[in-house]
Structure 1
Amino acid sequence: MATIEGPFTVQRILSNNAVIANTVIGQDVILLGKGMGFGRKAGDLLKSPKYEKIYVVPEGVAEQQALSLIEQVEPAVIQVAEDIIELAKMQLGQALHPRVYVALTDHINFTLIRLSQGMEIKNPFISEIEVMYPDEFYVATQGSKMIAEKLGVTIPREEIGFIALHLHAARHNRSVGESLKHSQIINKVIQHIEMQIGPLQENSGLNYTRLLTHLQSSIHRVITNTAIENPFMEHLKKDFSTSYKLARQVGDIIEKELEVVVPDAEIGYLTIHLERIRSKHHQ
């Protein structure tokens, strides 16, 4: 947690023990301490308040959410989550949606509780997440080292995947649920393809990575109604009929899961990726 000196200007009284205040450089902070809000009013100047906790409210984060967070989560956990977010912004080279401050902190805190109780962290989509979101996964891996160093807890690879999902969602202004849903669909698609062709990740190398990236992009285009053209459809259907049939089955899975229509052009490009993989398997 931050150490910030006064003076502070009271903006709002949250309770007898909590106030929203403003620093001399314009930061919104929450000050917690016994009697901190008692007898205060907006506009009061707090020169050297004896607060027990102080939290700098990130821009875009609701004050009530921030208050709930600092009342329920240990300061060290909040700090390490903020450090991971700052690292992500630097490494990814862009801003993240403000909700990641609350969501990631809450998630890490819940994970630490589960691990302390000996509960296993399961993530059936870890392989897909690592390949589809390599930049986020790298940051999450660095974040796991921060957690180990600052909190003394070693988190498993599966949890690194979930942190990567949070960063990906914040990067693209999506909910974590949406990112997880896409990973779930792609996992289901890969399982179906492997039933027809055989194991992919070990045998297909770069083609496997390209397939996952294509599936991710294809799902995004379908959801956003972004049209693409494929002038080779008839050629693909005729010359790569087996791969086309499998691509059509994949399209059916996506349509069922997302309640959308997958255009023929998308099926065509998926056919090309599947044909590459099939050819590799048959070598």
Structure 2
Amino acid sequence: MEIKKVLNNNVVITENDNHQEMVVMGKGLAFQKKAGDPVESTKIEKTFILQNTGTSEKLDQLLKYTSEKYLDISSEILTYAQAKLPYKLDEYLYVALTDHISFAIARYQQGIDLKNNLLYEVRKYYKKEFEIGIHALEIIEKHTDIRLGEDEAGSIALHLVNSQISGENMEIAVQVTDMVNSILNIVKYYYQVELDERSINYERFVTHLRYFSMRFIRKEKSEDTVDEFLHEQVQRKYQEAYACTERINIYLKKNFSWSLSQDEKVYLTVHIHRVTYRQKKQL
């Protein structure tokens, strides 16, 4: 095997004998290496095959900001999940789950504890996925010595079911699309930037907005679980993003007679800050 692309010192993209693109991981595997160099088989610790070349591009982008240890954790979780679930997992989960775990650990270290508003529903309707999510917490703890709460198990479970959710009817799909696009436009207008639609942060934000919109359309009420201290902390720390969230709240009140709960304001603020922060730094 020869290296097609170096993602960092420990991760490369190569091809197997069937010409399938493959991620290969190992300590120092790519140190002082470049495309075209042979892969040192003695240093290979883990591999997984990619069917979509777009996934390797997203991994490349992600690993510029995120340690590959989170990719290693995700790979272990997804290997376990695939053995337990009757359906095939989307390979993009390697990217989405790595990003999610990295973000969850960062929030934990900053003392920001976000509750999962869908935890009850996930535990009730997606029992297998939730059990995998609980096991995933053990895998994360093994690698990081950090024990995340059940809310994160619910979030990991949602990543597993995301691509398996049955298609909604066209009317609902249109409503969701319209609401998501409107909120994205509010963010773009408020910050006066074009969001990078190829970025992982953008995709993560859009995924959150879809769940958010579906809860409204299905009349699923969100009960506040975030305490006042955390709400004030997020409001103070991310003032610009919180002000943008208030603009979204005005739009929802005017067009849908729907006021954001305190929980929803916190979640939106964190996501808006994340989707705009790195982009603004690059301007």
TM-score, structure 2 length as denominator? Answer: 0.51
Alpha-carbon separation, structure 2, partners of 1:21 and 1:154: 34
Q: Answer yes or no: is the 8 Å Cα contact 1:128–1:186 preserved in 2.
A: no
Rg (Cα) greater in structure = 1
Query: Per the alignment, in what secondary structure is the counterpart of residue 98 of structure 1?
Result: coil
Match of 2:2 among 1, 9, 25: 9
Q: Answer yes or no: is the 8 Å Cα contact 2:11–2:23 preserved in 1.
A: no
Match of 2:33 among 30, 33, 36: 36
How many residue pairs get aligned? The number is: 181
Is 1:22 aligned to 2:19, yes or no? Answer: no
Q: Answer yes or no: is the 8 Å Cα contact 1:29–1:55 preserved in 2.
A: yes
Query: Per the alignment, in what secondary structure is the counterpart of residue 14 of structure 2?
Result: strand
Alpha-carbon separation, structure 2, partners of 1:70 and 1:154: 23
Question: CA distance change for structure 1 residues 53 and 182 in 2, over 3 Å: closer, same or farther?
Answer: same
Alpha-carbon separation, structure 2, partners of 1:73 and 1:173: 32
Alpha-carbon separation, structure 1, partners of 2:83 and 2:46: 25
Alpha-carbon separation, structure 1, partners of 2:108 and 2:95: 20
TM-score, structure 1 length as denominator? Answer: 0.51
User: Please, which runs of 5 or more residues in structure 1 have no aligned partner?
Assistant: 1-7, 192-255, 258-283
Q: By how many angstroms is 1:133 displaced? A: 1.7
Is 1:80 aligned to 2:73, yes or no? Answer: yes
Q: Answer yes or no: is the 8 Å Cα contact 1:128–1:183 preserved in 2.
A: no
Match in the other structure for 1:130: 123
Query: Per the alignment, in what secondary structure is the counterpart of residue 29 of structure 1?
Result: strand
Q: Answer yes or no: is the 8 Å Cα contact 1:148–1:154 preserved in 2.
A: yes
Match of 2:96 among 103, 114, 118: 103
Q: Answer yes or no: is the 8 Å Cα contact 2:130–2:154 preserved in 1.
A: yes
RMSD: 3.8
Q: By how many angstroms is 1:76 displaced? A: 2.4
Match of 2:51 among 31, 34, 59: 59
Question: CA distance change for structure 1 residues 47 and 110 in 2, over 3 Å: closer, same or farther?
Answer: closer
Question: CA distance change for structure 1 residues 92 and 21 in 2, over 3 Å: closer, same or farther?
Answer: closer
Question: CA distance change for structure 1 residues 110 and 55 in 2, over 3 Å: closer, same or farther?
Answer: farther
Is 1:113 aligned to 2:106, yes or no? Answer: yes
Is 1:188 aligned to 2:220, yes or no? Answer: yes
User: Please, which runs of 5 or more residues in structure 2 have no aligned partner?
Assistant: 168-205, 224-255, 258-283
Question: CA distance change for structure 1 residues 12 and 85 in 2, over 3 Å: closer, same or farther?
Answer: closer
Alpha-carbon separation, structure 2, partners of 1:14 and 1:78: 12
CA deviations on 1:5-34 (whole Å, 9 max, x unpaired) are: xxx23446889x996432456552368745
